[in-house]
Amino acid sequence: MLPLQVFFNKLIQSIDGIFGKKEISIVLFVAAVIFFLTVRIGCLLSYPYAVNDQLLENDDSMAYLLKAESLVQDPWMQSHTFTTYQAAIKRDTRESAMAGKYKTCMTVRYHLLWSSTVAFLHHIIGVEYETIQWFLCFAGQICILLTFMFILRALNFTINESAVAIVFYSLILIRVKVAIHMPPREWAVTAFLLIIGYVLSIGHKHINKRKIIAIICCGIFGTLMHPRFVLLLPMIYLFLLVYYILKTDMRNDIIKCGLAIGIPVVLIIIVERALASHGFQFLPFSTPFTPDSNISTLSWSLFWFNLKGGVYILKNLLDGMSIQVFDGLILVIIGLVVVCLSQKRLVLFSVCLLIVSTMALFLNYHKAYPAQYFYMFNSVYAVVIILYATKGFGFLLNVCKKR
């Protein structure tokens, strides 16, 4: 045996002996959490907060803050200023994507809970708008981390696997730019990921009353925070349907989970429709960018056009957690093979994610924004990619140990 190979084998055995100790595993997990917070808060938020005199994504942030203020000053959007502005943009015949987004952003209220919370903190507590926005950016990173750790626990990841996954996750999230300034849609996605954790735990743990209450709260939070939450739900219901067929002994828990997710959403939609008839709309059902407004444009040519954008989105995510795209892809493929034998729930969920997100490629948003509906699943794909990459990394490490 070559001296270099002997050295390598002894090194692997030493690492194995160290990682095999629970105390060391906990230290590694804590180090991974610190690494996540250092990257997300220390590098991506603290420095801009210290040196910039404006908010992150200032145009979007100011638009959200303006909607929070209008909820207090003009909740029915009937003031002279608003009606004048609305009339002006109706006369604007430009078909650019940016013009369309500004029309929707300024004339449609679609994140009621976010606006209400920010308005309450500003007008009742007395906190400045900029301070609130920065606080939400920092707090959002902690919520994202806790949600991801909850999913890892639901899938029974070991402490060492969780540490690796958190490090990978902190890197891949750099490519999910909206997760830095935490607009309402990312808060809605965070609630959705929490529900994913509860759904993936079915079959391992029973759905009790405490979990049902938590799921209901997540459903209310997500629906009122941003409509993206509702658009992501078909993925979960497809998973629950298939799981209901396959797992006859878990059907009671599956039904409970499905009802806990769906009933609050349906009730909120009913209330919103009733209020909308009186001029107070907070879910964007009638905008040009909603999926039902684009059903008539379904075509294979549109699918192929959006597919390029979808591939770019996935490639961008893989590039965030790897040296090159191909090595990250190899880890994911190896992890997929490993998971097929041990984590069938994750495989089933991934198939449901792929089916629903692929269907989204048939929908038209705007020619300047290909695969925009596929992009809704960006944060979910980031989590799934990391889960597979972690399993693949662990498998390769075990192979090296045996050699």
Shared domain for 36 and 155, answered yes or no, is yes
Shared domain for 123 and 232, answered yes or no, is no
Shared domain for 217 and 174, answered yes or no, is no
Q: Distance between the two ends of the chain, CA-based, in angstroms?
A: 12
Specify the pLDDT at position 104: 60
DSSP letter assigned to residue 20: T
User: Which parts of the chain sit beneath pLDDT 50?
Assistant: 1-2, 7-8, 11-12, 15, 18
Shared domain for 391 and 317, answered yes or no, is yes
Specify the pLDDT at position 266: 94
| Three-class SS state of 189 | helix
Q: Is 267 part of a structural domain of the chain?
A: yes
Shared domain for 34 and 177, answered yes or no, is yes
Shared domain for 280 and 299, answered yes or no, is no
Last residue of a domain, one of 133, 148, 182: 182
Q: Is 289 part of a structural domain of the chain?
A: no
Q: Is 188 part of a structural domain of the chain?
A: no
Q: Is 15 part of a structural domain of the chain?
A: yes
For 303-319, how does the pLDDT look when each residue is reduced to its tens digit (9 = 90+)? 888 899 999 989 888 88
Specify the pLDDT at position 103: 60
Asked whether the beta carbons of 253 and 207 are under 8 A apart, the reply is yes
Shared domain for 165 and 24, answered yes or no, is yes
SS (H, E, C) 325-394: HHHHHHHHHHHHHHHHHHCHHHHHHHHHHHHHHHHHCCCCCECCECCCCHHHHHHHHHHHHHHHHHHHHH
Nearest by Cα to 307 from 375, 353, 389, 381 = 375
Last residue of a domain, one of 261, 284, 307: 284
Specify the pLDDT at position 8: 45
Cα Rg for the chain, rounded, in angstroms? 23
| Domain tally, the chain | 3
Q: Is 2 part of a structural domain of the chain?
A: no
SS (H, E, C) 155-179: CCCCHHHHHHHHHHHHHHHHHCCHH
Q: Is 190 part of a structural domain of the chain?
A: no
Shared domain for 29 and 156, answered yes or no, is yes
Nearest by Cα to 388 from 326, 346, 349 = 346
Shared domain for 53 and 121, answered yes or no, is yes
Q: Is 144 part of a structural domain of the chain?
A: yes
| Three-class SS state of 53 | coil
Could you tell me the two tokens for 45?
């938020």
Specify the pLDDT at position 53: 74
Asked whether the beta carbons of 317 and 172 are under 8 A apart, the reply is yes
Last residue of a domain, one of 257, 284, 311: 284
Shared domain for 34 and 136, answered yes or no, is yes
> Can you give the residue range of the structural domain that contains 326?
294-403
Compute how many other C-beta atoms are within 10 angstroms of the C-beta atom of residue 278: 8
Shared domain for 31 and 65, answered yes or no, is yes
Could you tell me the two tokens for 83?
């009606």
Asked whether the beta carbons of 309 and 374 are under 8 A apart, the reply is yes
Q: Is 200 part of a structural domain of the chain?
A: yes
Asked whether the beta carbons of 45 and 180 are under 8 A apart, the reply is yes
Q: Please report the DSSP string for 262-315 in residue order.
A: HHHHHHHHHHHHHHHTTT---S-TTSTTSGGGGGGG--HHHHHHHHHHHHHHHH
CA distance 28 to 147: 19
Shared domain for 23 and 164, answered yes or no, is yes
